[in-house]
Amino acid sequence: MTAVYEPWDETRGAEIIAEHSKQEGATLVILHALQEAFGYVPAAAIPMVAQALNLSRAEVHGVFTFYHDFRHRPAGRHVLKLCRAEACQAAGGDALAARAEAKLGVSLGHTTADDRVTLEPIYCLGLCATAPSAMLDGRLVGRLDEKRIDALVAEAQR
Amino acid sequence: MSIRLYVSRDAGALAVGADEVALALEQAAAKRGIAVEIVRTGSRGLYWLEPLVEVATPQGRIAFGPVTETDVPSLLDALASNTPHLLRLGATDEIPWLKRQTRLTFARCGVIDPRSLDDYRAHGGYKGLERALSLGSEAILNEVTASGLRGRGGAGFPTGIKWKTVAQAKADRKFIVCNADEGDSGTFADRMIMEGDPFLVIEGMTTAGLTVGATKGYIYIRSEYPHAVEAMNAAIQAAKRDGYLGANIGGSTHSFDLEVRVGAGAYVCGEETSLLESLEGRRGLVRAKPPLPAHRGLFGKPTVINNVLSFAAIPFILAEGAKAYADFGMGRSRGTMPIQLAGNIRRGGLFETAFGVTLGELVDDIGGGTFTGRPVRAVQVGGPLGAYFPRALFDTPFDYEAFAARDGLIGHGGIVVFDDRVDMRKQARFAMEFCAIESCGKCTPCRIGSTRGVETIEKIINGERVSENLALVEDLCNTMKFGSLCALGGFTPYPVLSALKHFREDFVPAPTTLQAAE
């Protein structure tokens, strides 16, 4: 299931920011909410967040860039995350990651040229007893093998 | 007659098809005109048997697994006609792997419907809080201290002392923070308990709140755990509805509220001071200690910050008494530890047991060795910052001090098994690489050291001046160990140095190769 995002809209962005800005320590909450709505955190939103929270732009930019989750631009239509941590490495994850990279023609951390698939590493989905594991658009898949990773890649490319 | 079935909704079970099995059961039952009620539970933690389907019988629950969609029609036929089935495992409680455990914290996980507060109460839930309310702050502190409970996040600091410090602190506001940023690979106990028994975490945190005089708590859950976030939020709503959160808890004068906050993919936020910074809406930069969070924590106020499993151990301690908990364990490690068996392992999952079981028992006997069937060569205990242990150290008992004595740590209780194809140079490089990716950047040994570490191990892998570079890595590890501000930089040397020490043959080329190169 592909997530559907709204195009960036300043009024809508301001609404989202206002909705959460009264919470204590709201910066991450707001950045999450913006990304959930727009699929990424638009650069234009940073000064708006700063203003709402009485912070400098640099502070908000600093928070935005510190965390791996926040996107500078929209991801591909599908996001395939492969767990690359030790438990999945122990269960043959290295070879499967290489296989997915080869099939998609991009390395981890990149989006295919047709914008269909973003392939990302993730450091632990907590499915370490059913390793190796992956997440395709929020759906979890464990006990990956060559057949399953091929099926996931094919599904993401559709 | 209606058949009651139990299928897990735990993320680990969903990842191997539990939803599909539940749906197939519903459809096949409807087709056959059999009335079924499917209860979605947490996981029992026997992951090699997931999706596990249990059926209620007058003699207790009978388990079947691992069940796939294609097994469903035959399974239903067998249930309806009371005939044997190939996947029948017998009574769930009698499965040896489960029977051998001492489930104090995980007693309800996989048994109850995690969305049902009634189910939680019917299985002993909120008994601990009831007793806590009648005891009062000082007596609760005595119980927690006497139980010997130590922080289950990894540091092993006595929980009673931490709570007492916050209880004695004077402030207009105090906070309870639950560290649910379970980022260590090989660990999933926090996730399981939040998904399978969320009220337990709420009960533990509420108890902490009334003990130290805090009225607000936060659960900081990593974003990689969307199912846990959902389960905790649902449980918080239910607890609020029934008066277990909010004003006048359980008819008392105490108030306590809880809020879930979601992390954003930074491993370092599992470090408590970094987590507090993140909760305050900042970059997750580690703070120097002192001041301790117990004195100046969230928003500068006295704060109890504990791991999920620490809070989850509290209700048992209060309901059954400190002694009932402290009677388990060895040395200064009292009670039980939910151990997680992971990686290349035949029988992986959640094994809660008293401290003292040996690493070898856990890996070979309980875990059944590797699922690839190859010999076990290395196990990493305690996550990405934990040491790699060879078979020679399999007699090490699971105990904070015993692991420390062998230059390791039990951390959050995760054990990742590797077979004989593991290249320890790669694992050592990965430890440094991971530290470089996740370093918050505040202190130099961690920020720069990790990158230099990757480069130097790379040189060793390429055969460049191996012995010189090995000495350099050891020196660098020493600097990181003693010069870093927190456990990320400070403990990354554990996997690296243990790989060098116990698996030297992977780093130093065999003499024959040297001659051939000349």
Question: Do B348 and A128 make contact, defined as CB atoms within 8 angstroms?
Answer: yes
The b/e string for B80-107 (b: 16+ C-beta within 10 A; e otherwise) is eeeeebebebeebeebebbeebbbbbbb
- For A142, which of B12, B266, B418 is closest by C-beta distance? B12
Buried/exposed code over B359-372 (b: 16+ C-beta within 10 A; e: otherwise): bbbbbbebbebbbb
Q: How many whole angstroms separate alpha carbon B273 and alpha carbon B287?
A: 5
**Cβ separation of A128 and B342 shorter than 8 Å?**
yes
Q: Given CB atoms, is A15 within the 8 Å cutoff of chain B?
A: no
Q: What angle do the packed helices A27-38 and A45-53 form, to 10 degrees?
A: 150
Structure tokens at A90: 């122990």
- Burial class of residue B380 (count of CB atoms within 10 Å of its CB; 0-12, 13-18, 19+): buried
Distance in angstroms (rounded) separating the CA atoms of residues B420 and B432: 22
A66 touches chain B (CB under 8 A): yes
Closest CA of chain B from A24, distance in Å: 7
Please, which residues have CB within 8 angstroms of residue B127's CB and are 6 or more apart in sequence?
A: B315, B318, B319
- Could you give the strand order of the β-sheet that contains B175-180, starting from the edge strand earlier in sequence? B257-262, B216-221, B175-180, B303-307
ipTM confidence score: 0.97
CB contact under 8 A, A28 and B225: no
Q: Which residue of A has its CA nearest to B276?
A: A25
Closest CB from B15, B279, B345 relative to A140? B15
Residues of B (165-224) whose Cβ lies below 8 Å from A:
182-188, 191, 223-224
Could B262 and A28 be called an inter-chain contact, meaning their C-beta atoms sit closer than 8 Å? yes
Relative to beta strand B175-180, strand B216-221 is parallel
Are A91 and B344 in contact, with CB atoms under 8 Å apart? yes
Q: Is B97 an 8 Å CB contact of chain A?
A: no
The C-alpha of A127 sits at a distance from chain B's nearest C-alpha, in angstroms, of: 5
Residue pLDDT tens, chain B, 518 long: 689 999 999 999 999 999 999 999 999 999 999 999 999 999 999 999 999 999 999 999 999 999 999 999 999 999 999 899 999 999 999 999 999 999 999 999 999 999 999 999 999 999 999 999 999 999 999 999 999 999 999 899 999 999 999 999 999 999 999 999 999 999 999 999 999 999 999 999 999 999 999 999 999 999 999 999 999 999 999 999 999 999 999 889 999 999 999 999 999 999 999 999 999 999 999 999 999 999 999 999 999 999 999 999 999 999 999 999 999 999 999 999 999 999 999 999 999 999 999 999 999 999 999 999 999 999 999 999 999 999 999 999 999 999 999 999 999 999 999 999 999 999 999 999 999 999 999 999 999 999 999 999 999 999 999 999 999 999 999 999 999 999 999 999 999 999 999 999 999 976 655 544 44
Q: Residue B38: beta bridge partners? A: B5
Pairing of strands B35-41, B2-8: parallel
B48 in contact with chain A, both atoms CB, cutoff 8 A:
yes
Report the gap between the CA of B131 and the closest CA in chain A (Å).
33
Q: Which of B152, B148, B161, B157 is nearest to B332 (CA)?
A: B148
